[in-house]
Structure 1
Amino acid sequence: MSKDEKNLAQVIDKIAKMDEPRRSVVQRVHDVIMNTAPTLKPRIWYGMPAYAISASTPALLTLRNDERLNLAITEKAPFRAGGGVDGKLMPTAWYFENVDEDTERRIADIVRSVLN
């Protein structure tokens, strides 16, 4: 089994150990990430499912299962100021409780943003 396969298995196992309904929600977000950017490599990073360019590079995205579910862009991803009313603030984390089609589209946009 390759390192990428082992890392993916660890992420799938981590998600599988989550309680419902969060497990299904996080699995859905994982699927959106992988469908949007199949070249990203899932792995566990600081105890969280995470996604990187390769097994040896820092994670660009993380999925947290704490008091609230959280999708975050790490400091290793390219940042761009939000502009507009946010000025120089850089959006880096999004909390969610469930995922619908609109949320899936937004997550896909976020994933694409870390690859540019």
Structure 2
Amino acid sequence: MPTTNATSESTGFSAAEHAAIKERAGELRAEGKQGAKKADGLQAVLDSMARMTPEDRVIAERVHVTVTANAPELLPKSWYGMPAYANVDGKVVFCFKNSGKFNTRYSTLEFQDAAHLDDGEIWPVSYALEKWSPAVEKKVAELVKASVS
């Protein structure tokens, strides 16, 4: 369960969540070559998040939890130094572009060509994430599910 502050906004991974993620990475490595690849991707995502500002890291960690819960088939990986999630073919479906990396006002969740978000002749492929909330979590979960459907 994520840690929270008085306004019920997430403050990132709890110590138990960090321990569970590291344990899972070890389990994946033990599964062999394919598991090791996924574990290495997970470690790259965790390393990328560790380099973020605390504000960006909180959002990135919550995105990661939401992706893991709603699209476990996606493989975590680092993409241009950003946390990203790829399909089984290795194509990036979306990435988390943190504001600190590019000195922008807000972080974004950016969907790539492999995402299944097509809707007519025009549709959004980038979503601003200023802070995490239950409403943001719900929308991200919907987008993640749609992107792999």
Q: Which has the larger radius of gyration?
A: 2
Determine the structure 2 residue equivalent to 1:73: 111
Q: Give the C-alpha shift of residue 53 in structure 1.
A: 1.6
Picking from 92, 96, 109, the partner of 1:59 is: 92
Determine the structure 2 residue equivalent to 1:33: 67
What is the CA RMSD across the aligned residues, in angstroms?
1.4
* Letter in structure 2 aligned against 1:63: F
Distance (whole Å) between structure 1 residues aligned to residue 115 and residue 140 of structure 2: 15
Which 4+ residue blocks in structure 1 deviate beyond 4 angstroms? none
Structure 2's unaligned 5+ residue stretches are 1-28, 30-35
Picking from 78, 87, 90, the partner of 1:44 is: 78
Distance (whole Å) between structure 2 residues aligned to residue 74 and residue 20 of structure 1: 26
Structure with a larger share of its residues in helix? 2
Task: Give the TM-score of the pair, scaled to structure 2.
Answer: 0.69
Q: Percent identity?
A: 28
Q: How many residues align?
A: 110
Determine the structure 1 residue equivalent to 2:145: 112
Structure with a larger share of its residues in strand? 1
Task: Give the TM-score of the pair, scaled to structure 1.
Answer: 0.87
